[in-house]
């Protein structure tokens, strides 16, 4: 057992461990002794008269019986209570008490120092306090350095005190000045009277402190006597003696003794006590034990079993102690036991080793020293935190706190180390004080520092990149909605203060732009349900009202049963990027349109050539010639070509924003296929496999155009040779592997439209450029180079992805992937309703282009309207002014020389505010419904229009009139 015991316990008391052991032995021994006693004062139940002296702090306080107090008085009370003794305390001066005791009037003296002389009339218990004698002199006294210097000096002693006896035994009787109390003596000494005072050090210090005397100090060297204070009973009262010893042992083994001692002696210091002192303390105990041993030998036959039981118990405790110590020594933490006054009582091996390494705690590794002072000294730098913690540690020692924890940094030898200090009170019945444990946290702290730095860098990077992170705790089915956690950056992206977000999923959806909300909610549902990665760009409404673009990416964590646990993701503000892209797109568009002007001039000039030429030819024919019809057909064909060309340009330039709605693609694909079959030579074989597929979000006319462009492309790839064009439409599941190969494609459900041919195919260089506007492999004049660019633009606007595969000579396959839309299907009407017709309403039609005037008049009249059509807005205004009530509706062009459509409309309204107006224009971009309404028009009729559009728009305009009139 390597217990580093403290042999310096105040005034020679055994340290906790040792006292615990001896107490156990004593209890057994004393129990045995007391059991053997026959009768005594104690057992008869009579009231004991207990003598305590006046004013001997801290042992005895008070001048009267009623005010008796102090350490010994309280110790007596505790023991008497424990042992069931009746008593009365009587307070007198020491000498008077002693006289009364000797005379048999006082049964117990509770504070009598042992001496041989006193054994004549008293039996002593085990000492309750041992006090060493000291020589007190005035501060600055130079003549007296040791006890030996007292030989010719005037010495104050308390009358009949042990010091008195001792001084007499040293032959100083003539120099002695007996006083009644310690206070009297010190007052004399402090006043400059006499040379020294002999008294126990503890009592002397106590008295000096109480009197506030500062110019009297004890000599460093001890005096040659020590006082062992005991309870004294009258000679021969063995029963009472045994009960007092037993009671004393019990108070020591519990914390009662320690608490009393701490209360009364705690304020006095702590003087290191040597082994020698300990030996001096131990010898009476040893004597007692030896005495007991002798008794044991005499009575062993009778008492052996009991003694053996006691011994076994003692052995068991020793074994437990050894085990406890071994465990403590095995721990890497530095552990110390601290006494209630803050002195280190014992340490474990780790502490001892550290102390040895530091080398400044002495051979006993700090045992016997103040714990807090040791801690402060132990580290080169003052450990401020530890110093500040002193109060907390003391609270633990006083039992006011259940524990204390502190992390502190300790710099030494250029290295920074971290420790955790834990101070916990001891709760063992025999032990008081606390355990302090220092654990080296440096490795943990370094790891934490690395982690913190990494976290800081990550946070910084996320902040710089405007990337917020979030997590959505998915509720179990049937539960309320789960909790959403946002990082500070996520809050910033949405314009909320950190912590302002309430954690509700609905709150997040509310912040999404209304037009994108359905999409985001749908994608969230799909991600949770199917595990398809959530990754797309959508708009949000920033707190400041701005519309911002974000990209959200998220995935779902699942438990072992594949049940979704939480959705974790990031959101990145990509508004700047979107704006740049928009600018780039715009500039590219401008560039492309510039090219277009030249590029399509060629096609247009050919078309116009055909139109003009055929028209001229028709005019050259005699009226009624059947050939005229052929020329007109040619004109119509050429004009349709021109219309298609314009449509393609507009589709590419994105000027025509198309609304998308959920639809099943098989209808529109079949329709387009039918059209292609009709227009492509019979040598081209079409094979189709068109399944009924789930809905996608699409625009029917755009999908139609995609089909037409791809089929035309496929046909051209056959280069006039017989070949096959394959059309397939089916639902497909994109897996991770495929998704990895094609950027933009994510795992999940798609509707896949394949248009494939077995034509010429292409190499990788061509393949890389096919979606560039105006890139074409076709000869000049054969293709605009816009077809695939348009396809690409449309599919991209559909959140779709095109996967192209081709080999020269092996044909080409375009696989278009459209994400499956989860909401309800909106079926396209199978049969368009008939064009609404008029019932003779009167219309004024104005357009500065004469052919359109003629065409418009003819068409409106065919639809059942009475029409006045004019090419001059000025003339039309005059007509209207002359008879405003003869028109129900005016249809006017926007851009006209002389009078613009808007001005024309204003003037018409000035004449007749309730006139319904329809605006026609060839360029509708930038004209919103608001502008139309503001200008006073009820309908917009984009050019070119066909009979149906004209009929429907006109019908709506009249309906609007009716409605307006009704309201």
Partner 1 sequence: MNDILLVEDDTACATMLRAALNHFGHPVVHAADGREALRLYEPQTTRLVIADLLMPEMDGMELIMKLHAREPSVRVIAMTGGGRSGKSETYLYLRMAERLGAVKTLAKPFPLEDLRQAVSECLDVE
Residues that bind partner 1 (CB under 8 A): 595, 597-599, 601-614, 616-617, 620, 631, 634, 637-638, 641, 774, 778-782
**Between 106 and 638, CB nearer to partner 1:** 638
CB of 593 to partner 1, least distance (A): 13
CB of 784 to partner 1, least distance (A): 10
CB of 633 to partner 1, least distance (A): 10
CA dihedral 40, 43, 45, 51 (to 10 degrees): 60
**Between 254 and 637, CB nearer to partner 1:** 637
CB of 591 to partner 1, least distance (A): 12
Cross-strand bridge partners of residue 543 = none
Contacts of 347 (CB under 8 A, 6+ apart): 4, 334, 335, 336, 337, 355, 365, 366, 367
Helix (H) or strand (E) holding 156: strand 155-158
Helix (H) or strand (E) holding 757: strand 748-757
**Between 160 and 680, CB nearer to partner 1:** 680
CB of 606 to partner 1, least distance (A): 4
**Between 743 and 779, CB nearer to partner 1:** 779
CB of 631 to partner 1, least distance (A): 7
CB of 537 to partner 1, least distance (A): 35
**Between 595 and 925, CB nearer to partner 1:** 595
Contact 396, 434 (CB under 8 A): yes
**Between 536 and 604, CB nearer to partner 1:** 604
- The CA-based angle 55-58-60, given to 5 degrees, is 45
CB of 952 to partner 1, least distance (A): 31
CB of 601 to partner 1, least distance (A): 4
Residue in this structure with the two tokens 């001692």, named with its chain if needed: 261
- The 3 state secondary structure assigned to 555-591 is EEEECCCCCEEEEEEEEEECHHHHHHHHHHHHHHHHH
**Between 598 and 897, CB nearer to partner 1:** 598
CB of 775 to partner 1, least distance (A): 12
**Is residue 892 packed enough to be buried (19+ CB in 10 Å), middle (13-18) or exposed (0-12)?**
buried
**Between 743 and 851, CB nearer to partner 1:** 851
Residue of 693, 698, 731, 725 whose CA lies nearest to 712: 725
CB of 632 to partner 1, least distance (A): 12
Task: Order across the sheet with 723-734: list the strands.
Answer: 684-690, 723-734, 748-757, 811-819, 801-807
Query: What are 931's two structure tokens?
Result: 């502008």
- The 3 state secondary structure assigned to 938-950 is CEEEECCCCHHHH
CB of 609 to partner 1, least distance (A): 4
What is the C-alpha to C-alpha distance for residues 213 and 137, in angstroms, rounded to an integer?
12
Contacts of 465 (CB under 8 A, 6+ apart): 572
Contacts of 583 (CB under 8 A, 6+ apart): none
CB of 652 to partner 1, least distance (A): 16
**627 half-sphere exposure, CB direction, 13 A CA radius:** 10
Helices of type H across 778-863: 787-797, 850-862
CA dihedral 290, 296, 298, 300 (to 10 degrees): -150
Query: What are 86's two structure tokens?
Result: 């009746």
**Between 348 and 776, CB nearer to partner 1:** 776
Query: How far, CA to CA in Å, does 79 sit from each of 45, 82, 479?
Result: 15, 5, 66
- SS3 category, 749: strand
**Between 616 and 934, CB nearer to partner 1:** 616
**Between 385 and 597, CB nearer to partner 1:** 597
What is the C-alpha to C-alpha distance for residues 717 and 474, in angstroms, rounded to an integer?
52
CB of 613 to partner 1, least distance (A): 4
**Between 411 and 778, CB nearer to partner 1:** 778
**Between 610 and 957, CB nearer to partner 1:** 610
**Between 65 and 782, CB nearer to partner 1:** 782
Long-range contacts of 284-291 (CB under 8 A, 24+ apart): 284/114, 284/126, 284/127, 284/228, 285/22, 285/126, 288/126, 289/25, 289/29
């Amino acid at each position: 057992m390597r217990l580093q015991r403290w042999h310096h316990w105040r005034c020679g008391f055994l340290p906790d461990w040792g006292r615990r052991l001896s107490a156990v032995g004593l209890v057994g021994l004393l129990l045995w002794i007391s059991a053997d006693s026959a009768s005594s004062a104690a057992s008869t139940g009579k009231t004991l008269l207990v003598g305590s002296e006046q004013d001997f702090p801290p042992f005895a306080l008070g001048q009267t019986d009623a005010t008796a107090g102090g350490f010994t008085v309280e110790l007596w009370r505790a023991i008497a209570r424990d042992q069931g003794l009746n008593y009365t305390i009587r307070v007198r001066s020491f000498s008077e008490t002693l006289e009364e005791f000797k005379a048999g009037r006082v049964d117990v003296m509770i504070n009598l120092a042992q001496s041989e002389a006193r054994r004549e009339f008293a039996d002593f218990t085990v000492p309750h306090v041992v006090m060493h004698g000291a020589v007190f002199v005035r501060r600055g006294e130079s003549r007296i350095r040791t006890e030996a210097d007292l030989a010719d000096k005037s010495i104050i002693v308390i009358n009949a005190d042990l010091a008195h006896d001792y001084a007499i035994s040293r032959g100083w009787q003539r120099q002695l000045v007996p006083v009644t109390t310690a206070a009297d003596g010190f007052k004399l000494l402090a006043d400059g009277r006499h040379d020294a005072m002999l008294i126990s050090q503890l009592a002397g210090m106590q008295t000096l402190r109480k009197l506030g005397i500062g110019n009297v100090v004890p000599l460093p060297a001890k005096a040659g006597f020590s006082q062992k204070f005991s309870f004294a009973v009258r000679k021969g009262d063995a029963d009472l003696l045994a009960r007092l010893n037993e009671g004393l042992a019990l108070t020591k083994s519990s914390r009662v003794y320690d608490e009393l001692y701490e209360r009364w002696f705690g304020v006095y210091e702590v003087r290191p006590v040597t082994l020698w002192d300990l030996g001096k303390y131990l010898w009476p105990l040893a004597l007692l034990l030896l005495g007991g041993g002798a008794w044991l030998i005499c009575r062993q036959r009778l008492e052996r079993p009991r003694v053996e039981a006691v011994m076994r118990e003692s052995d068991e405790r020793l074994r437990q102690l050894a085990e406890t110590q071994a465990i403590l020594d095995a721990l890497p933490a530095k552990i110390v036991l601290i006494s209630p006054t803050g002195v280190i009582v014992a340490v474990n091996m780790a502490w001892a080793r550290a102390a040895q390494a530091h080398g400044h705690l002495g051979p006993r590794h700090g045992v016997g020293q103040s714990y807090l002072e040791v801690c402060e000294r132990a580290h080169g730098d003052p450990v401020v935190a530890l110093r500040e913690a002193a109060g907390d540690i003391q609270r633990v020692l006083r039992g006011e706190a259940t524990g204390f924890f502190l992390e502190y940094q300790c710099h030494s030898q250029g290295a920074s180390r971290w420790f955790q200090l834990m101070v916990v009170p001891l709760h063992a019945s025999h032990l008081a004080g606390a355990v302090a444990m220092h654990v080296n946290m440096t490795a943990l702290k370094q790891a934490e520092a690395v982690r913190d730095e990494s976290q800081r860098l990550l946070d910084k990077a996320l902040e710089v990149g405007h990337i917020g992170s979030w997590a959505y705790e998915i509720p179990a089915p049937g539960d309320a909605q789960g909790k959403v956690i946002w990082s500070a950056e996520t809050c910033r992206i949405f314009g909320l203060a950190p912590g302002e977000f309430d954690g509700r999923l609905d709150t997040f959806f509310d912040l999404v732009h209304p037009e994108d909300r359905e999409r985001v909610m749908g994608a969230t549902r799909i991600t949770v349900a199917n595990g398809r990665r959530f990754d797309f760009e959508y708009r949000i409404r920033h707190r400041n009202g701005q519309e911002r673009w974000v990209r959200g990416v998220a995935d779902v964590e699942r438990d072992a049963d594949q049940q979704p646990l939480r959705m974790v993701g990031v959101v990145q503000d990509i508004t700047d990027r979107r704006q740049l892209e928009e600018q780039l797109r715009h500039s590219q568009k401008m560039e492309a349109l510039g090219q277009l002007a030249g590029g399509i001039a060629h096609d247009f000039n050919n078309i116009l050539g055909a139109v003009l030429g055929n028209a001229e030819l028709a005019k050259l024919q005699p009226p009624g010639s059947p050939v005229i019809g052929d020329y007109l057909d040619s004109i119509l064909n050429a004009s349709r070509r021109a219309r298609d060309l314009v449509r393609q340009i507009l589709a590419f330039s994105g000027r025509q924003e198309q609304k998308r709605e959920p639809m099943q693609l098989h209808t529109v694909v079949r329709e387009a296929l039918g059209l292609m079959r009709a227009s492509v030579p019979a040598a081209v074989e079409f094979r189709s496999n068109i399944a009924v597929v789930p809905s996608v979000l699409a625009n029917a006319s755009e999908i139609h155009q995609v089909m037409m462009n791809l089929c035309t492309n496929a046909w051209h790839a056959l280069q006039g040779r017989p070949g096959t064009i394959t059309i397939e439409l089916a639902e497909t599941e994109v897996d991770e592997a495929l998704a990895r190969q094609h950027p933009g494609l994510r795992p999940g459900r798609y509707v896949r439209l394949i248009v494939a041919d077995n034509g010429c195919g292409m190499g990788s260089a061509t393949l890389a450029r096919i979606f560039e506007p105006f890139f074409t492999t076709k000869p000049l004049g054969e293709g605009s180079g816009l077809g695939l660019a348009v396809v690409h633009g449309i599919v991209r606007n559909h959140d779709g992805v095109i996967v192209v595969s081709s080999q020269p000579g092996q044909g080409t396959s375009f696989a278009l992937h459209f994400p499956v839309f989860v909401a309800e299907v909106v079926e396209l009407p199978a049969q368009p309703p008939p064009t609404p017709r008029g019932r003779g309403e009167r219309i004024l039609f104005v357009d500065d282009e004469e052919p359109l005037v003629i065409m418009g008049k003819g068409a409106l009249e065919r639809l059942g309207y009475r029409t006045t059509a004019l090419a001059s807005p000025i003339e039309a205004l005059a007509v209207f002014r002359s008879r405003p009530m003869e028109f129900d509706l005016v249809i006017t062009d926007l851009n006209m020389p002389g009078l613009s459509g808007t001005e024309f409309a204003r003037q018409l309204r000035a004449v007749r505010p309730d006139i319904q107006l329809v605006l026609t224009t060839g360029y509708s971009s930038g004209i919103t419904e608001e502008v139309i309404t503001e200008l006073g028009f009820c309908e917009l009729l984009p050019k070119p229009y066909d009979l149906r559009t004209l009929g429907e728009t006109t019908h709506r305009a009249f309906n609007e009139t009716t409605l307006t009139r009704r309201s």
